[in-house]
Structure 1
Amino acid sequence: MSKTESTVEPSQQSKKQTYNFNKLHKRLRRNVGNAIADFNMIEAGDKVMVCLSGGKDSYTLLDILLNLRLNAPIDFEIVAVNLDQKQPGFPEDVLPNYLSQLGIEYHIVEENTYGIVKEKIPEGKTTCSLCSRLRRGILYRTATELGASKIALGHHRDDMLETLFLNMFYGGKLKSMPPKLISDDGKQIVIRPLAYCKEKDIEKYARAKAFPIIPCNLCGSQPNLQRQVVKEMLQTWDRQYPGRIETMFSALQNVTPSHLCDPKLFDFKNIRRGELLQGVEGDIAFDNEPLKPIQWQDDDSDYTDTQQIQFKQVN
């Protein structure tokens, strides 16, 4: 055997793979649990509608939530929902087969949003905006029909950062995806339990679990998507400056309205000389000592199932 060939026995390699997978699973489980607890995403008696697209993120979301439910100190239901948008070549049997094997409640909602988008959007223009609005309306309606109290989406930490930069670059807003929000009519609550999870971890987990991934042929193949440009920018930063992504996400959790420029968030007009404002930072524009990101966790940090998630009970 040459020096360049591996000398690791198959059994040893298997043990290492198992160890790495268990560590990855615990990290994802911990991050999802922390997000649920921090934002009170799931309460006793909730019926959580998990939206499945057939992508790595939504598969991971469903898998981790099902796992967490096994040890949660409260009872809550999970129902999986997929929106079949009638895209040409969509493998209609994949998700029903997968969900049937899990033995959970699921519903496949059939709506020809693909045809609507193709009719309304000129060739060469991006379809994301209209497609997402159509999907959102259908999912809200479905949640009402099923009696779901929460709608769980598979957006993760990187999605939230990408949205932040998209809104800054193209929308002129300092706005991201919130981990938890209420619909405009107040009838639906949307949660994003993967808010603290890295996309890289989700990709590794999806490969290890061999989820039957279904590609989105409607939007995934569109050239020059603004989101893709921002994604590549963040990935480049992550490679060149390790830790920068974590620091940027931490900034979303450490907002100082008095050091921005929005008079709706802070009463700049009524600042008077000689007055001390409680809880407001002074004239330091840049913090010399960088904050440790709230959700930074060492890959080897310990976590056990005895550390139960602090779900809250509905009165």
Structure 2
Amino acid sequence: YHIVEKDTYSVVKEKIPEGKTTCSLCSRLRRGTLYTFADEIGATKMALGHHRDDILETFFLNMFYGGTLKAMPPKLRADDGRNVVIRPLAYCNEADIEAYSQLKEFPIIPCNLCGSQENLQRQVVKEMLQDWERKSPGRTEIMFRALQNVVPSQLADRNLFDFQSLKIDDSATPRFLDVMNL
């Protein structure tokens, strides 16, 4: 393994006004650092530590604030096709990882940018998911399972499903339902 040290903190503090969320720039800088270093050492695969809760939080952030149904897959080819990102902890929940880390006495490397800002949308979503789990134990597992069981024809994305060309089976007898007069 390699430890890559890069001063992204100064760049983020310089570019992002006080009181604004630093997450988007910080994550882009980290990814850029990883991809650059991977190129330098000839690596084509990177393992990241995202877990099930990160994936669900990202899904809801994208849906609530970005208007897209997407998250972070366990395995992803980079847009340029040169690297593959794997997330070996994708199916593990955060609480189990935390308990294991404490048991093994892994060191925690603090970051005074990530998660320490007030009113972060990710923190709000995290609290929402935790509240749902408290009220209905097992709900987050069911939601994560839903991300693995997508039915494109039951959504509304014309790029995933050809609704316009959809026709009935020619052998079926046509019948119409007048929903206005039900």
TM-score (norm 2): 0.90
Deviation at 1:275, TM superposition (A): 4.8
How far residue 183 of structure 1 moved from its aligned partner, in angstroms, is 1.2
Corresponding residue for 2:102? 207
8 Å Cα contact 1:157-1:249 kept in structure 2? yes
What displacement does 1:111 show?
2.1
Shift of residue 267, structure 1, vs aligned partner: 0.5
Provide the residue aligned with 1:186 in structure 2: 81
Assess, with a 3 A threshold, how the Cα gap between structure 1 residues 275 and 119 changes in structure 2: closer, same or farther. Answer: farther
The amino acid that maps onto 2:61 is L
| Preserved contact between residue 126 and residue 219 of structure 1 (Cα < 8 Å) | no
Correspondence for 2:16: 121
Do structure 1's residue 217 and structure 2's residue 112 form an aligned pair? yes
Cα distance in 1 between the residues matched to 2:41 and 2:24? 26
Q: Deviations over 1:101-160 (max 9, x none)?
A: xxxxxxxx2322111111100000010100110110110011111222310000000100
For residues 123 and 229 of structure 1, the distance between their equivalents in structure 2, rounded to whole angstroms, comes to: 20
Structure 1 segments, 4+ long, off by >2 Å, are 273-276
Structure 2 Cα separation of the partners of residues 162 and 218 of structure 1? 18
What is the correspondence of 1:157-196 to structure 2 with a 5 Å cutoff? Answer: 157-196=52-91
| Aligned position for 1:92 | none
Unaligned runs of 5+ in 1: 1-78, 83-108, 277-315
Equivalent residue, structure 2, for 1:259: 154
- Once the two structures are TM-superposed, the CA of residue 273 in structure 1 deviates from its matched residue by 2.7
Alpha-carbon distance in 2 for matches of 1:274, 1:186 = 40
For residues 247-272 of structure 1, give each alpha carbon's deviation from its aligned partner in whole angstroms, at most 9, with x where no partner exists.
Answer: 10110110100000001000000011
Deviation at 1:182? 1.1
Q: Over residues 64-92 of structure 1, what are the superposed CA-to-partner deviations in whole Å (9 max), with x where a residue is unaligned? A: xxxxxxxxxxxxxxx2x33xxxxxxxxxx
Q: Identify unmatched segments of 5+ residues in structure 2.
A: 172-182
Per the alignment, residue 287 of structure 1 pairs with: none
1:269 aligns with 2:161: no
1:148 aligns with 2:43: yes
Cα distance, 1:254–1:275 mapped onto 2, change above 3 Å: farther
Aligned partners of 2:114, 2:94: CA distance in 1, in Å?
19
Q: Secondary structure, in 3 states, of the residue corresponding to 1:110?
A: coil
**Secondary structure class of the residue paired with 2:76:** strand
Q: Report the AA paired with residue 272 of structure 1.
A: K
1:259-300, Cα deviation, whole Å (9 max, x unpaired):
000010000000113359xxxxxxxxxxxxxxxxxxxxxxxx
RMSD (Å), alpha carbons: 1.2
In 1, distance between residues paired with 2:144 and 2:73?
A: 12
What is the aligned-residue identity percentage?
Answer: 70
1:197 to 81, 85, 92: 92
Q: 1:164 touches 1:176 (CA, 8 Å); kept in 2?
A: yes
Deviation by residue 1:151-177 (Cα, 9 ceiling, x = unmatched)? 000000010000010001000000010
Alignment of structure 1 residues 20-169 onto 2, 5 Å = 79=1, 81-82=2-3, 109-169=4-64
Question: Alignment partner of 1:270: what SS?
Answer: coil
| Contact 1:160/1:177 (<8 A) preserved | yes
Kept in 2: contact 1:161–1:249 (CA 8 A): yes
- TM-score of the superposed pair, with normalisation by structure 1: 0.53
Q: SS where residue 85 of structure 2 aligns?
A: strand
* Mapped contact 2:45–2:86 kept (Cα < 8 A): yes
